[in-house]
Structure 1
Amino acid sequence: MPIYKIAIGTPGEASQPDALKAALAEFFSMLIFVFAGEGAGMAFNKLTDDGSTTPSGLVQASLAHAFALFVAVSVGANISGGHVNPAVTFGAFIGGNITLLRGILYWIAQLLGSVVACLLLKFATGGLETSAFSLSTGVSAWNAVVFEIVMTFGLVYTVYATAVDPKKGNIGIVAPIAIGFIVGANILAGGAFDGASMNPAVSFGPAVVSWTWTNHWVYWVGPLIGAAIAALVYDNIFIGENTHEQLPTTDY
């Protein structure tokens, strides 16, 4: 990938109204996503006496996260691009579609949104635990890293194909649905092994509130590597130098 596509940005960008509005949109989108996704898991645990590891619990998690992400991406799309994921933001940066400084603003907002959502859940449920992501028995940390790389590759590849590609045309209309669906499908594939995060912020909030950091690095390393690979593959092979153009901030 030509290095000129990567942009650092200017210090004043952090105080520009549009950048601050975009970061605020990421905060609220992440809060909506985590509150619904994590909350659905907590509700299922309460109703089934901690039965989240059952097949029905996996399907419930898949549907809750798919629906919530569809909404979270949709409501943020016109303001921030609806990343709702530090890995997606990182993939957009690698492809030259967002500056580093704006990306850092997004990361801060996304992480704060996840933490606030988990704090609200803990308060609203009377102190129930917001469970941190963890590995299943027999699954090593490196097994989980591979899972996260592959699943996040699929997510960010979908983002590029449906939302970033300048040639996307009318397919951009279904981008939030496609992004929600791939996350739901990946939860069905990897949820029983490592929880299928694909999103460092989604893992960060519960870890902070429960103060559980065992193997937390997995949920950063895997998604960021997967996002970078997807961005490099799609940008170099399917967008290329001839068709590449800097996208408006509203389109990632």
Structure 2
Amino acid sequence: MPIRGIAIRWPELEETNPTDALRGALAEFISTLIFVFAGEGSGMAFNKLTDDASTTPAGLVAAALAHAFGLFVAVSVSFNISGGHVNPAVTFGAFLGGHINLLRGILYWIAQLLGSTVACLLLKFSSGGLTTSAFSLSTGVSVWNAFVLEIVMTFGLVYTVYATAFDKRSEGNIKIIAPIAIGFIVGANILAGGAFDGASMNPAVSFGPALVSWDWTNHWVYWVGPLIGGGIAGLVYEFFFNHTNHRQIHHEQLISAHD
């Protein structure tokens, strides 16, 4: 079971250099700031241009494109340093799958939340005090509807991250297109769920606007749902698709050690 390898037993997690962890956290801070500034900023710009009109099809498409492009860039610029998580749910899924240890995971969470908060503060200042809108539920959508929606959407996101970025067998073109695939799945999910609950899939993306606007209405949905979805995706991928690969790697390492 992959759960036994969480942050303890897998050789690739025996990390002794704290400088690398801090460098990774800094990369996560910067990439999350870039992503949230682009995504949240696009929503604020659209609201200003339409005089705060309610969500429209054009606004939904604009949000999907802004988040897809922003995440593509954010993952790309931090991929070789921190792994390009840009999302506490991705970090949590990576932890449950044994791809990151607890200390580095905590540092990433702190960096991601700070990056989102700083991005929203910069947006509020540079826009002359416009509101950074917190995520909210649409009329007729219950918290449980949104809860399930966030689980399903985040599952798809983290599963995509695993298949394209975390899987050791992903080489060449698959590795190269990982940031594109991750950006595309977020954009597609926003088109699918944005009209219902805003389609967060990312606790950091929800946290910054909620903190700066001090609006915590139903905020737990945007934490619990993504963390459950991301955790399930990590365990499913590791148990059904990566477990055999890890056993093969471990076997080869044992043979090499005895040689």
Q: Distance in 2 between matches of 1:77 and 1:154?
A: 19
Q: CA deviation at 1:15?
A: 7.7
| Mapped contact 1:14–1:105 kept (Cα < 8 A) | no
- Alignment match, 2:4: 4
- Alignment match, 1:39: 41
Normalization by structure 1: what TM-score?
Answer: 0.93
Deviates more, 1:14-23 or 1:79-88: 14-23
- Alignment match, 2:130: 128
- Secondary structure of the residue that 2:82 maps to in structure 1? coil
- Alignment match, 2:85: 83
* Alignment gaps of 5+ in structure 2: 10-14, 251-259
- Alignment match, 2:217: 214
Q: Distance in 1 between matches of 2:158 and 2:56?
A: 28
- Alignment match, 2:196: 193
Q: Distance in 2 between matches of 1:22 and 1:31?
A: 14
Compared with structure 1, are the counterparts of its residues 8 and 133 closer, same or farther at alpha carbon in structure 2 (3 Å cutoff)? farther
Which of 155, 159, 162 is matched with 2:161 structurally? Answer: 159
Q: CA deviation at 1:192?
A: 0.2
| Mapped contact 2:2–2:239 kept (Cα < 8 A) | no
Q: Once the two structures are aligned, what percentage of the paired residues are identical? A: 79
| Mapped contact 2:2–2:243 kept (Cα < 8 A) | no
- Alignment match, 1:203: 206
Normalization by structure 2: what TM-score?
Answer: 0.91
| Mapped contact 2:2–2:235 kept (Cα < 8 A) | no
- Alignment match, 2:182: 179
1:101-151 Cα shifts (integer Å, max 9, x gaps): 100000000000000000000000000000000000000001001000000
Q: CA deviation at 1:243?
A: 3.3
Tell me the amino acid that sits aligned with residue 78 of structure 2: G
Q: CA deviation at 1:3?
A: 3.4
Tell me the amino acid that sits aligned with residue 88 of structure 1: V
1:184-211 Cα shifts (integer Å, max 9, x gaps): 0000000000000000000000000000
Moved over 3 A (4+): 241-246
Q: Distance in 2 between matches of 1:83 and 1:239?
A: 19
Compared with structure 1, are the counterparts of its residues 150 and 15 closer, same or farther at alpha carbon in structure 2 (3 Å cutoff)? same
Tell me the amino acid that sits aligned with residue 76 of structure 1: S
Let me know the Cα RMSD of the aligned residues.
Answer: 1.6
The count of residues paired between Structure 1 and Structure 2 equals 243
- Secondary structure of the residue that 1:129 maps to in structure 2? coil
- Secondary structure of the residue that 2:177 maps to in structure 1? helix
